[in-house]
Structure 1
Amino acid sequence: MTDFATPEDIANRTNAAKEAAVAAGRELGLEITEGKVLYELFSVVVHLAPSPVVARIPTVLPHTTTPESLAKRQQQELDVAQWLHDQGTPVIPPSSEVPRKPVQKDGFSITFWPFTDEDKSKEPDYVKNSELTADLHAALRAYPGELDFLSSAEPGFVREALTKLENHPDIVDPADLARAKQEWEILEPLVSDESEFRKAFPGIELQPVHGDSPPANIFAGTNGPLFSDFELITRGPVEWDLGGLGLELEAAYDRGATRNGLRTLDKEVLRFVNAVGAIRVIAYLSCADQLPAMVEFMQPFLHQWRDTDPYA
């Protein structure tokens, strides 16, 4: 792991992403007088004002990510968002102002989305969002695009990240890392090989799923909630989208599933996806050199994880 990024480094990275998005947008024919940063953490989101277009630029990425793998993932996101929009599902679709494909500029890979007004009058309702997630699953069942099995689990990255973290006891306690590696020995085959998953969980249907906790990625539009951020779209059990949310939100999803004629959540599959999700969180601490703040804001999760039973 290299030296940790300083606040100045992060500000420079954000500015470079903004400038790349502005330049790319202008090359595509958009009228842009300035780029306004709306959000920054793992990605930078920029309004290309005054055009009705927002650029999203991933900036904190696993060390295993290549330009090709990132572009493939972004294209899948654009394609599924457009397809859902065409079916009448409430989503933020790709921008219609530019071609529907990621654009490479100055070392960044950029996607373009419509500027959408946000309803900031109330706090997110995660119970409602969890129930709405079943609506998304019902819509996704018919998606015709080709998706890999549990690609959002990123097993290659997790394996390498856990090894990388052996040299950083300042980031992950060695006892925590030892437990994570032991559990990953059991979990990795189940996320890497569809046949192994099917042997472990017979009868569990696989389908397109959002991949990144849709209850936390529903945008509060002024005209109603909109599904968004399909960066980790994948094929897997519906439980993958409900990992780590707890009993109340699981019950809300089950209400939505019953309303849509879908099966309710399987407790053993949920236990599996919760375990995988926990190890992925730990693995992402290997990216702390890019975003040092994650070490502190992940501590409550680590304390909670230590109190859970190991996956066996």
Structure 2
Amino acid sequence: MVAWLAEQGHPVIPPSPLVPREPVLRDGFSMTFWQFTEFLETVEPDYVRNAGLVADLHRALREYPGELPFLSAAEPQWITDSLEDLGDRLDPADLDRARREWAVLEPLVRSRSAFESEFGVDLQPIHGDAPAFNLVPTPNGELYADFELVGLGPPEWDLAAFGPECAASYDTRARALGLRELDERVLRFVNAVGALRSVSCLALAPQLPMLADAVRPAIEQWRGMPFAGGLTG
């Protein structure tokens, strides 16, 4: 997809021309390679503004002609396996909640038809990995990066966890472009799935110990969120 976007003249960091366009596994971790791009470290990110620009990215992505998997960015099998492996790395009450939440959310993540039946919103190609965060300032303008998780899904997925101010910024731009505004129920759903992805990251702590501290604020926030985004199963 990224090569297609670059060919269409959209502002993206393209894959590296020096190696094959495929992930490389090393020491149990997957890596991808992109064209070297200088970025401006002195530019402070404006996520509210960037969230509005995501609507432009979505409009461009709607024209992508290729086939894409449904909500692959959620990595449902990884969440399932991680929640089984967490053991004593998560408080027992938290682990119980996480597993019960996933029992509600997982069917909607794994099945396009179940998702569409529940929410009735349109799907389209999406970036998959917080594009408002992955908009890189460079001497040649702002470029989108990190397209490893592209897939088919609701536009809400790309705004997960950014908060109401960013959602409002997106909606304003979406209206101007003739796109639909964000659906509140879908936004709660993707926020819930994203929160469980953060919880699941603890399963990787033995390989990457820094994760234990890195995900602690996200877990604290998750504890205060509605169970399964308000869905009842």
The TM-score normalised by the length of structure 2 is 0.92
Paired position in structure 1 for 2:2: 81
Tell me what 1:234 maps to.
Answer: 151
Match of 1:297 among 210, 214, 217: 214
Q: Does 1:146 align with 2:51?
A: no
Report what 2:111 is aligned to.
193
Q: Which runs of 5+ in 1 are unaligned?
A: 1-79
| Residue 175 (structure 1) aligned to one of 74, 87, 93 | 93
Query: What does the per-residue CA deviation read over 1:130-184, in whole Å, with 9 as the maximum and x for residues that have no partner?
Result: 111111100000111211000111111111111111x22xx21111111111111
Name the structure 2 match of 1:101.
21
Which residue of 157, 182, 186 maps to 1:269?
Answer: 186
Deviation at 1:305, TM superposition (A): 1.4
Alignment deviations for residues 56-79 of structure 1 (CA, whole Å, 9 cap, x no partner): xxxxxxxxxxxxxxxxxxxxxxxx
| Contact 2:51-2:166 at 8 Å conserved across structures | yes
Q: Equivalents in 1 of 2:192, 2:32: separation in Å?
A: 31
1:194 Cα deviation after fit: 0.7
- Alignment partner, residue 278 of structure 1: 195
**Aligned residue-pair number:** 228
Which letter maps to 2:99?
K
Could you say which residue in structure 2 is the equivalent of 1:124? 45
Letter in 1 for 2:226: D
Whose relative contact order is higher, 1 or 2, with alpha carbons under 8 Å and at least 6 apart?
2
Does 2:125 match 1:208? Answer: yes
Shift of 1:95: 2.7
For 1:286 and 1:224, locate their aligned partners in 2 and report how far apart those are by CA, in whole Å.
38
Q: Which runs of 5+ in 2 are unaligned?
A: none
- Would you say the 8 A contact 2:52–2:170 is kept in 1? yes
- Partner of 1:112: helix, strand, or coil? coil
Give the CA deviation at 1:259. Answer: 2.2
Provide the rounded CA distance (Å) in 2 between the counterparts of 1:269 and 1:164. 28
Distance change >3 Å, CA 123–CA 186, structure 1 → 2: same
Identical aligned residues as a percent? 50
Aligned: 1:136 with 2:53: no
Q: CA separation in 2, counterparts of 1:104 and 1:304?
A: 34
> Aligned in 2, Cα 1:111/1:303: closer, same or farther, shift over 3 Å?
closer
- Cα distance, 1:177–1:103 mapped onto 2, change above 3 Å: closer
TM-fit CA distance, 1:260: 1.7
CA contact (8 A) 1:102 1:109 kept: no
Moved more, 181-190 or 252-261: 252-261
Matched residue, 1:64: none
Aligned-pair RMSD on alpha carbons?
1.6
Equivalent residue number for residue 223 of structure 1: 140
Q: Distance in 1 between matches of 2:46 and 2:109?
A: 30
8 Å contact kept, 2:126–2:151 = yes
TM-score (norm 1): 0.70
Q: Distance in 2 between matches of 1:118 and 1:241?
A: 22
Residues 112/304 of structure 1: CA separation in 2 closer, same or farther (3 Å cut): closer
2:78 to 157, 180, 196: 157
